[in-house]
Structure 1
Amino acid sequence: MSDELQELIATLEEHERRLTFDRFDHPDAWALGRLLVETATGRELPVAVDIRRGRQQMFHAALPGSVADNDEWIRRKVRVVERYGASSYLVGRRLAAQGRVLDAGMGVDPARYAAHGGAFPVRVPQVGVVGVVTVSGLPQADDHALVVEAIERFLAIQAA
């Protein structure tokens, strides 16, 4: 494994340790979703945004330039978080470090799962992963970075 990939994995793991929620309800999903949409709109990013708690879709927006296929990517990335309990980017980078890919050899259908950046777990301490925040439409590192940025801002607002 390259030093660069090892450093990236460490950074992604740090994101997941640090970015946890005290709670996550409908108003939280709405506020976080609006924050993501405002950020993406301000930058004219062609993304779709999706927030779920359990199996319930609590927020969804398709911004100008996004396409229907972004929704399918969202579903595939969400399944990775739900199955592995980690961000879709972290799962993909860990696999890459091992020279592996997410496929039938791992017991999953790659048409239904995508270990590409953009889906991040909503984790509540002492509870676990309760939901997923996802962005699709940019290169995977940028999808991930946008979600992390929005969660950081949301949690800072909550703490203030």
Structure 2
Amino acid sequence: MTTAVTELIPRLEADEARLVLDRFGNDDAWRLGLTLTELAQERDAAVTIGIRRVNQRLFHRALPGTTPDNDAWIDRKCRVVLHYEESSLLVGARFRAKGRTFETASRLDPRRYAAHGGAFPLRLRGTGVIGAVAVSGLAQEADHALVVEGLERFLGRS
């Protein structure tokens, strides 16, 4: 296990413990999506943003410079979040910490699942994971950081 991974895992776990929602409905998905859109536009980031509640797409925005590949990445990363109930970056880091790759050790079809950063669980206090929010278009840790910053702003913590 590399030092970078051992330092990354506790930080990612802390993000997830801190960013728990008291409620999350369709209007909240719209507000979070707009928050992420504003953050991306402030940075001139060509990203696609997706928010879903289990099997229902609640928000989708493809900013200029993105492609259908970004949609596919969002779908694959969100499947990881919904399967493991942890962020896609954390799932990938846990596999790397054990000296394995997600693609070979998870037994999940890599054409449908991607443990790359950028998808984060929508976790309701007292309920658990009810969906996922994802960004695709940047390097995986930058995708993850954008989602975290968006959730912090949405929750009024930034």
Q: TM-score, normalised by structure 1?
A: 0.95
Give 2:63's aligned residue.
63
Give 2:99's aligned residue.
99
Amino acid across the alignment from 1:90: L
Q: Distance in 1 between matches of 2:64 and 2:7?
A: 34
Amino acid across the alignment from 1:78: C
> Identity, % of aligned pairs?
54
Question: Which SS does the other structure have where 1:103 is aligned?
Answer: helix
TM-aligned CA deviation for residue 107 of structure 1: 2.2
The answer as to whether partners of 1:47 and 1:66 remain within 8 angstroms in 2 is: yes
Q: TM-score, normalised by structure 2?
A: 0.96
Give 1:5's aligned residue.
5
Amino acid across the alignment from 2:153: R
Give 1:112's aligned residue.
112
TM-aligned CA deviation for residue 74 of structure 1: 0.5
Question: Which SS does the other structure have where 2:146 is aligned?
Answer: helix
TM-aligned CA deviation for residue 110 of structure 1: 0.8
Question: Which SS does the other structure have where 2:52 is aligned?
Answer: strand
Q: Distance in 2 between matches of 1:105 and 1:117?
A: 18
Question: Which SS does the other structure have where 1:156 is aligned?
Answer: coil
Structure 1 ranges of 4+ moved more than 4 A: none
Q: Distance in 2 between matches of 1:80 and 1:150?
A: 20
TM-aligned CA deviation for residue 105 of structure 1: 4.2
C-alpha distance 37-9 of structure 1, shift in aligned 2 (>3 A)? same
How many residue pairs match? The answer is: 157
TM-aligned CA deviation for residue 156 of structure 1: 1.3
Give 2:150's aligned residue.
150
Q: Distance in 2 between matches of 1:46 and 1:64?
A: 6
Q: Distance in 2 between matches of 1:105 and 1:41?
A: 37
Q: Deviation string for 1:98-147 (max 9, x for gaps)?
A: 11112354321111110000000000121110010000000000000000
Amino acid across the alignment from 2:133: V
Where in structure 2 are the equivalents of 1:11-160 lying within 5 Å?
11-103=11-103, 105-156=105-156
C-alpha distance 4-106 of structure 1, shift in aligned 2 (>3 A)? closer
Q: Distance in 1 between matches of 2:106 and 2:42?
A: 40
Which stretches in structure 1 are left out of the alignment for 5+ residues?
Answer: none
